[in-house]
């Protein structure tokens, strides 16, 4: 695959006068609201974007919505903030980081937070059956080791796309795998100097198709890599425009 466009835009953004810490935080906070809305909606949350913003910005309780949805929104916000906080210092992706992300994501389920599942599961609507519990730890260890090799030989977008597809196939946790996996994508993108991306709820069918197509084409991650790259280009263009408008140029 050709990743010249996101690479070109990343270089262009890096050459511009940077946003100050306050401006960057505001943009990240705004992104996190939409990101939390979309990623939880993909998993079945019925909170609207406005309701998500009220919960995260004003600690509002939405009377008609279950407590679990409130906790899922707060937990995901905190997990994204954790990802951002470790991106500058983290090098190799580790099991500990993944479990810490999951611990924050699964705020509504104290018993299973940050712990690999101990029961077999099936994924609704999928033809793939995740491995038995006793295989999770060795498969995760192997995946993390192989991911380091992937990063050395491929563009980060392609490498993290394959990691995500395989991570979701292992389905290591009883719940919260999708949200955790999408946060890992963003951890790896930020570490590589890219912007975090938000896979939209409206694109959920295309996102789900990535898994089926990957299993049918020799486990190539091309479709998901293309989806991530498209979102990355959009985010980079948005930041470039914001900085350009702020500086009265571009």
Question: Which residues are catalytic, by number?
Answer: 171
Contact 39, 63 (CB under 8 A): no
Question: How large is the greatest C-alpha to C-alpha distance in the chain, in angstroms?
Answer: 58
Of all helices (H) and strands (E), which one includes residue 157?
A: helix 156-170
- Distant-in-sequence, close-in-space partners of 94: CB < 8 Å, separation ≥ 6: 144
Q: Output DSSP code: residue 175.
A: S
Contact 206, 226 (CB under 8 A): no
Q: Output DSSP code: residue 203.
A: G
- Distant-in-sequence, close-in-space partners of 248: CB < 8 Å, separation ≥ 6: none
Looking from the CA of 200 toward its CB, the CA atoms found within 13 Å total 8
Contact 129, 161 (CB under 8 A): no
Looking from the CA of 188 toward its CB, the CA atoms found within 13 Å total 26
Q: What are phi and psi of 16, to 5 degrees?
A: -85, 160
């Amino acid at each position: 695959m050709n990743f010249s466009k996101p690479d070109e835009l990343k270089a262009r953004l890096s050459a511009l006068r940077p946003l100050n810490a306050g401006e960057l935080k505001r943009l990240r906070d705004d992104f996190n609201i939409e990101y939390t809305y979309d990623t939880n909606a993909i998993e079945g949350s019925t909170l609207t974007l406005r309701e998500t913003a009220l919960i995260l910005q004003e600690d509002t309780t939405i009377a008609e919505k279950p407590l679990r949805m409130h906790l899922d929104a707060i937990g995901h916000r905190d997990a994204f903030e954790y990802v951002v906080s470790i991106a500058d210092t983290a090098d190799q992706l580790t099991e500990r980081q993944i479990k810490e992300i999951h611990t924050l994501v699964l705020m509504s389920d104290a018993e299973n937070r940050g712990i690999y599942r101990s029961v077999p599961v099936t994924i609704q609507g999928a033809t793939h059956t995740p491995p038995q519990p006793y295989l999770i730890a060795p498969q995760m260890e192997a995946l993390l080791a192989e991911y380091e090799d992937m990063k050395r030989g491929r563009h980060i977008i392609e490498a993290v796309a394959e990691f995500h597809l395989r991570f979701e196939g292992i389905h290591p946790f009883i719940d919260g795998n999708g949200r955790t996996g999408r946060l890992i994508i963003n951890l790896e993108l930020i570490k590589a100097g890219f912007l975090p991306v938000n896979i939209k709820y409206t694109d959920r069918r295309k996102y789900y198709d990535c898994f089926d197509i990957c299993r049918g084409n020799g486990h190539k991650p091309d479709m998901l890599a293309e989806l991530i790259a498209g979102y990355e280009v959009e985010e980079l263009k948005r930041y470039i425009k914001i900085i350009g408008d702020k500086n009265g140029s571009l």
